[in-house]
Structure 1
Amino acid sequence: MTGYKITEGDVEAGLQDRIEVLVEKKSTTSWLWKMLGALLLLALCIGGARLYVWYQFERSESMQSGHTAAPIIMDPDVKTAAHSTLKEMSKKAKAAIHLVGHYDEDYNMIAVEWRDAVGQAFAQGGFRLYNNTIIIPESGLYFVYSQVSFRVSCSKDTEGAWRSMPLSHRIWRASNSIGQRVSLMSGVRSACQNVQDDDMRSGQGCYSTIYLGAVFQLNKGDKLETETNQLSELETEEGKTFFGVFAL
């Protein structure tokens, strides 16, 4: 039988081999953790990017790629809530203007007079009220809104039926880029259709409201103004007739 003698060199060599194997395993584990961390970070980035793209797509769909959105004609029963909500939204906007309407029949006014320094009215972020028109400070997307309220004194025709009275409200845009004045939004209602004789005898009249609101791509220097019929029937108490714009 052949004998084998373990020398001190053999022992040291074995220890070196064992130590090298341990170091290699530690290096492999650290590399795997780094790889998992990188993959997790990449997944989070991809998820965030997809969420951002989805948000921008939904927003662009709602704004119809910069084109005008369908006008909203709101029911009179929610006019107070609409006024409060829009007022709070416009306050948070960097650029916004909110005007209150005034009308004095004694001065034979041909349009609602908009005011920016009374009551809840204000202007900020470069917006200006000039010659009863709103001046757009910069090109971009804006939410334009307006409401007019009426208290109509209805009358009867020769047959004793209540005459229907048409009420209308429109927002116009004058732009150098377009070269002409165009209608942004308009709304029409008919008053005195379902009134009761008792209401007329008590002097209550017939109440009606027209609300308009939509998103538009506007240019710097554009001018917005309104046109309203039946001005003598207009209600200009606080929160009933207003006109405003705020940047998106």
Structure 2
Amino acid sequence: MQQNLNYVYPQIFWVDGNASPPVACSSLAGPPPVPPRQDLKRNKRRDSTSLCLFIMFLLVLLALTGVGVGIYKILQMQDELARLKELTSDGQLTPALEKRIGLPDISTEKKDMIQAAHVTGKENTNSLPLEWEDTYGRTFTAGVQYKNTGLIVNETGLYFVYSMVYFRWKSCENNPLSHTVFKRTPRYPKDMVLMEGKTTNYCTDRSMWARNSYLGAVFNLTRSDSLHVNVSNVNFVGFEESKTFFGLYKL
């Protein structure tokens, strides 16, 4: 009888009482994969650029807002100044009005202590001393008042005084031409001549003629002094504002 040599031995399992339960494969996995370094740099660069653009936008917006507010305030002040000037008879602001519109005190701000004036020839003037136009055209007064044909000094100091007179006439009479700048002061009863120019033989025939006379020099003037201009014949004066004028400014 042939024996079966394919005998199967029983399987034996050793059981360890301290053995741990099977562990899932997912619990043995490592940390999550790290993104590529180039992607991180690109994301940081994009975030930084966006932040810079946002900050620049805010700065530009603030600057434009400030400019707009400044322009609005300036226009508002100019309108207020124009309305307040209409309340005065001579167009000059009083200290109360200057304070109302927020202008600095002229007595404490050196930059506002301008002492100067420029007046021009006034048409249809037949009296002497010469009258001047102080409101229209290329005229101004700052710290100096024009009154009764004269420029009144408001502050003692050195001033450059100038005057130009344009003489012309339709025929040659050859009478001497004189052009004088003089001062009137409460401390002296008579007029004091500061500058004088005289011209003779300025025409040679009986045709139309023209001639300029210019005077200019530095003088020490005192508060309340008034300066005036006189001529030999007012009929010979041409009153164009660019040819006949009078002024001064403090040095």
TM-score by length of 2: 0.51
Q: Using the alignment, how far apart are the partners of 1:192 and 1:247 within structure 2?
A: 34
> Given the alignment, which residue of 181, 184, 187 partners 2:194?
184
Identity of paired residues, percent? 34
Structure 1 residue 194 displacement after superposition: 3.2
Q: Using the alignment, how far apart are the partners of 1:134 and 1:181 within structure 2?
A: 14
Query: Higher relative contact order at CA 8 Å, sep ≥6: structure 1 or structure 2?
Result: 1
Equivalent residues of 2:118, 2:141 under 8 A apart: yes
Q: Using the alignment, how far apart are the partners of 1:100 and 1:137 within structure 2?
A: 20
Query: Would the alpha carbon gap of residues 112 and 177 (structure 1) be closer, same or farther in structure 2, given more than 3 Å must change?
Result: closer
- The alignment status of 1:101 with 2:121, answered yes or no, reads yes
Amino acid of the structure 2 residue aligned with 1:172: F
Query: Would the alpha carbon gap of residues 153 and 190 (structure 1) be closer, same or farther in structure 2, given more than 3 Å must change?
Result: farther
Structure 1 residue 221 displacement after superposition: 0.7
Please, which runs of 5 or more residues in structure 2 have no aligned partner? 1-112
Equivalent residues of 1:100, 1:242 under 8 A apart: yes
Higher helix share: 1
Q: How many residues align?
A: 140
**Matched position secondary structure for 1:165:** coil
Amino acid of the structure 2 residue aligned with 1:220: R
Equivalent residues of 1:147, 1:240 under 8 A apart: yes
Higher gyration radius (CA): 2
Q: Using the alignment, how far apart are the partners of 2:128 and 2:250 within structure 1?
A: 29
TM-score by length of 1: 0.52
1:75-117, CA deviations, whole angstroms, 9 ceiling, x for partnerless residues? xxxxxxxxxxxxxxxxxx9221000011416xx4344211211
Name the residue aligned to 2:176: 166
Name the residue aligned to 2:93: none
Structure 1 residue 242 displacement after superposition: 0.3
Query: Would the alpha carbon gap of residues 148 and 132 (structure 1) be closer, same or farther in structure 2, given more than 3 Å must change?
Result: same
Name the residue aligned to 2:250: 247
Name the residue aligned to 1:143: 160
Please, which runs of 5 or more residues in structure 1 have no aligned partner? 1-92, 156-162
Structure 1 residue 132 displacement after superposition: 1.1
**Matched position secondary structure for 2:215:** strand
> Given the alignment, which residue of 101, 106, 122 partners 2:140?
122
Alignment of 1:21-36 (within 5 A): none
